[in-house]
Amino acid sequence: IAGLDTKRIGQHVLAYDTVVSTQLLAHEAAAKGMPEGTLVIAEQQTGGKGRLGRAWHSPKGTGIWMSMIVRPVIPIPKTPQMTLLTAVAVAKTMQQETGVDVKIKWPNDIFIGGKKVCGVLTELNAEADRVNYLVIGIGINANTAAADFPEELRDIATSLAIESGTTVDRVRFIQQFCRIFEAEYDHYLRHGFDRIKTEWEACSYTIGRWVTVKTIHSELEGRAVGLDEEGVLIIEDAAGARHKVYSADVNYGAN
């Protein structure tokens, strides 16, 4: 991206028209040794991926579909913090560039007015118990029109253009994201997770809500009260007992 004044993030960009998934290409690029901060961006994905085998709708020309290679020297159990960091950086960029009020839903969704505008997908490549690299996928509905969402997404998805009433300059948005992400990331590598935790909680949709958490083994109901110092979600059940939730699907109840 010409003229981008970052040190690493966005300094190498692989831009494509149509791909199956930018995640796959980013894994290939990382395996070939492309440096930290490399972005793989596409106009359209035919097999965009969500978590747990779900699909990500990625129509041509309306969104920001990109995957970023990072190589943080952190223990593997801390890698979910990178998803939270990314969500904070995306939320800040959205707020700065469009002025809309965004909320982060644990762990990886960004919402505007109760509808999903962005999803983050973090994939780990580890070697001998240490992080080799992460591919962080970011899907942002930038200029998607309401009518362009397929039937099943109409009530649950939105875009920056729909919410702000203006067309988003995608290149400018990506540049701004690179700056904000790099600043957060550098701070995180030097000083740890505290600042992200505070910023994440400040724009969280999840904290304070009554939620049902489904894991592979069990189901848990309670109020989401915060993140612990590692970035793990803490749920307080009706009896007042606290539980840590590492990775699961969170559904939101009425109260």
Q: Which parts are annotated binding residues for biotin?
A: 45, 116
The Cα–Cα gap between 238 and 210 comes to 10
- Distance CA(150)–CA(58), nearest Å, equals 11
Asked whether position 103 contacts ligand BT5 by CB under 6 A, the answer is no
- Which residues define the annotated binding site? 45, 116
Number of H helices, E strands in the chain: 5, 12
Helix/strand/coil for 146: helix
Among the listed ranges 53-61, 82-90, 190-198, 206-214, the one in contact with ligand BT5 (CB under 6 A) is 53-61
Part of the chain binding ligand BT5 (CB under 6 A), chosen from 6-14, 113-121, 165-173, 197-205: 113-121
* CA–CA gap between residue 206 and residue 151 (Å, rounded): 26
DSSP 1-59: -TT---SSTTSSEEEEEEES-HHHHHHHHHHTTPPTT-EEEEEEESS-B-STT-B----
Q: Which of 56, 106, 173, 200 binds ligand BT5 (CB under 6 A)?
A: 56
For residue 50, state whether it binds ligand BT5 (rule: CB under 6 A).
yes
Which of 116, 187, 195, 243: binder of ligand BT5 (CB under 6 A)? 116
Q: Which is nearer to ligand BT5, 155 or 221 (CB)?
A: 155
Cα gap 136→36, rounded to integer Å = 11
Site string for ligand BT5, 124-163 (x = CB under 6 A): -------------xxx-x-----------x---x------
Report the alpha-carbon distance of residue 37 to residue 71 in Å, rounded.
8
H or E element in which residue 188 lies: helix 170-191
Q: Does residue 108 touch ligand BT5 according to CB under 6 A?
A: yes
Question: Whole-number minimum distance, CB 129 to ligand BT5, in Å?
Answer: 26
Tokens of 143: 């200029």
- Complex with ligand BT5: residue 135 or 180, whichever CB lies closer: 135
Member of 66, 134, 160, 248 binding ligand BT5 (CB under 6 A): 66
Q: Which member of 9, 27, 36, 45 binds ligand BT5 (CB under 6 A)?
A: 45
Q: Cβ closer to ligand BT5: 61 or 75?
A: 61
List the structure tokens of 238: 């009706």
Contact between 231 and ligand BT5 per CB under 6 A: no
Decide whether 20 or 189 has the Cβ nearer to ligand BT5. Answer: 20
Query: Which segment (19-27, 169-177, 203-211, 227-235) binds ligand BT5 by CB under 6 A?
Result: 19-27
Whose CA is closest to 69, among 132, 19, 142? 132
- Let me know: does 154 contact 146? Beta carbons within 8 Å: yes
> Which residues of this chain interact with ligand BT5, rule CB under 6 A?
21-23, 45, 48-52, 54, 56-58, 65-67, 108-109, 116, 119-121, 137-139, 141, 153, 157
